[in-house]
Amino acid sequence: MQITQLADEATGRYSYLIVDDKSRQALLIDPVEAQIQRDLALLRERKLTLAYVVETRKDPSGMSGAELLRDATGARFAASDLGTPSADIILRQGDYLEVGALRVDVLETPGEDGDGLSYRVGDQIFAGDAVAPSQGDDRLDDQAPHPALWDLPATACLWPGRAPESEPRRPITAADSSPGRRRSNAEPGVLGRIGNTPLIELRHVSPNPRVRIFAKLEGCNPSGSIKDRIALGLVREAERRGDLEPGMTIVEASTGNTAIALAMVARQLGYSIKVMVPEGVPPSIWDTLELLDAQIDWCKPCAGMRGAIEHARREAVRLGGYALRQFSNPLNVDIHYEQTGAELDDALDHVDVFVSGIGTGGTITGVGRRLRETNPGMRIVGVEPATGERLQGLQCIEDAFAPPLFDIELLNRRLRVTAAHSLEVMRMVGEREGLVVGVSSGATLSAAIREAQRLDRGNIVVMFSDGGWKYLPTRPWEAVERHDAELDEVHWW
């Protein structure tokens, strides 16, 4: 069963499209007359058969069409009426309708004065809208918010309509697969494809139909992660200052993605690259670095990133090379402020919550600062691994160290996510959205879903920092017992 909520911004009314997965028959319940053609076009697009257009109404007057409909269609239902231009059936309190495996039961009205009814589909209860208003109907002036649906079935898909707002807000202008106004990148060849990554709406994961979740797909960068941005930016700035010259070796500490990004940039610009990588990263990262002709120094896991950073500093001195210092170089933050944050600012006219992992601190600090300038009341949520656990690309502040670039004062909340839950959500994104994302993206989406449950309505932007292809050979979810891990939420302020 699929339940899609359709929203009409002009009237603030909702209708629902309920689909029987097996028969592909659909019920359109409580249609908005002004949007009926749009809804029918949606049905054609999804190749669905419309069984009935249904309205729920409290008023018991009118003739019954039960026998006529039963004879004509074979559907079983209690007293119903025909007679409105926008509906085949009017269901009143106590009525029910069955189509295929679907059964809709009309229940009591949710409010004493409203015409709208609630109804049950399977084990889910939904607040039905009033009968679709016609011109001159005084209910057109009723802009009271519709009751929110917090518990949709796991297969629910959400139409990207918005509920009426209590305060005027700018319209959403983001396209599903476009970052808005494309910013120029004058670099040659593959380097010119860094940045300007897609921003897409995740249509099948939000637990709240009033909240839209948008994901920034940084895995679409050439080497497969957000680290392409800082790799290119830090190298070009070092060249500009004269700190990096032809023939020198670039030296950096990384858990994987920065190393791969730097290896790609180094190959394009003619530099040697040596990376300090803690043991325990996925073997596919080793293979990629070797393919890109990077020199690898493995660091003991017990040394952590702090030990890898110190080793990189010493090695840069020994080789006469240049250490980019991604964890402490303030340009890391500036790049995300000027590029990533600006792309999001172009794409969405309003952001209510920004969710990002905490790694070097560059992304969440730079993007967070940029978005908060245009969305002063927005919330910024940082995501880190649960204490004692490891998640590729993320740092637990207590277990590791607070990166010098990380502006903790920006955050409204820090959320800790277990490895098990991150892997479950990583897999869920593939099943529901058709996206292969990294483990850290599973963690950030876990937090975004939790924020959607808390938010009344609005837009959430979540960073998907890399793609998941490099993790698939290890089949990471098989190493973790499947269970319903919960977010270990920490309220610091």
- Cβ 128 vs Cβ 87: under 8 Å: no
- To the query of whether residue 440 is one of the catalytic residues in this protein, the response is yes
User: For residue 306, what pLDDT is reported?
Assistant: 73
Assess whether 353 and 484 both reside in one domain. yes
Q: Which portions of the chain are predicted below pLDDT 70? A: 1, 7-14, 32-34, 36-37, 52, 55-94, 98-102, 108-117, 119, 124, 126-185, 301-305, 386-403, 473-493
User: For residue 473, what pLDDT is reported?
Assistant: 67
- Cβ 406 vs Cβ 361: under 8 Å: yes
Assess whether 28 and 79 both reside in one domain. yes
- To the query of whether residue 227 is one of the catalytic residues in this protein, the response is yes
What is the Cα–Cα distance from 192 to 339, expressed in whole angstroms? 13
User: For residue 214, what pLDDT is reported?
Assistant: 97
User: For residue 75, what pLDDT is reported?
Assistant: 46
Assess whether 240 and 92 both reside in one domain. no
Assess whether 13 and 130 both reside in one domain. yes
pLDDT digits (tens, 9 = 90+) for 44-54: 777 777 776 77
Exposed e or buried b per residue across 375-398, where buried means at least 16 C-beta atoms within 10 angstroms of its C-beta: beebbbbbbbbbeebbbbbbbbbe
- Cβ 303 vs Cβ 278: under 8 Å: yes
Assess whether 94 and 50 both reside in one domain. yes
Catalytic residue among 227, 356, 422, 441: 227
Assess whether 336 and 312 both reside in one domain. no
User: For residue 55, what pLDDT is reported?
Assistant: 66
Nearest to 104 by CA among 78, 130, 73: 78
The answer to whether residue 349 is domain-embedded is yes
Domain boundary among 295, 323, 351: 323
Nearest to 422 by CA among 467, 386, 398: 386
User: For residue 272, what pLDDT is reported?
Assistant: 93
User: For residue 194, what pLDDT is reported?
Assistant: 95
The answer to whether residue 100 is domain-embedded is yes
Alpha-carbon distances of 11 from 118, 140, 380, rounded to whole Å: 19, 6, 32
Assess whether 346 and 279 both reside in one domain. no
Assess whether 306 and 365 both reside in one domain. no
Assess whether 368 and 310 both reside in one domain. no
Domain boundary among 323, 358, 383: 323
pLDDT digits (tens, 9 = 90+) for 393-415: 555 444 455 667 778 889 998 88
User: For residue 278, what pLDDT is reported?
Assistant: 75
In terms of residue numbers, what domain contains 95?
Answer: 2-141
What is the Cα–Cα distance from 218 to 357, expressed in whole angstroms? 13
Assess whether 38 and 98 both reside in one domain. yes
Assess whether 318 and 411 both reside in one domain. no
The answer to whether residue 167 is domain-embedded is no
The answer to whether residue 383 is domain-embedded is yes
Catalytic residue among 225, 440, 441, 465: 440
- Cβ 466 vs Cβ 218: under 8 Å: yes
User: For residue 103, what pLDDT is reported?
Assistant: 75
Q: What CATH number is associated with residue 92?
A: 3.60.15.10
User: For residue 254, what pLDDT is reported?
Assistant: 84
Domain boundary among 265, 294, 323: 323
The answer to whether residue 180 is domain-embedded is no
The answer to whether residue 62 is domain-embedded is yes
- Both structure tokens of 123: 């084990």
Nearest to 49 by CA among 69, 8, 78, 19: 19
The number of folded domains in the chain is 3
Assess whether 88 and 22 both reside in one domain. yes
Tell whether pTM > 0.85: no
Distance from chain centroid for Cα 87 = 35
Nearest to 452 by CA among 230, 213, 261: 213
Q: What CATH number is associated with residue 311?
A: 3.40.50.1100
Alpha-carbon distances of 419 from 283, 405, 476, 486, rounded to whole Å: 18, 25, 10, 11
What is the Cα–Cα distance from 232 to 254, expressed in whole angstroms? 15
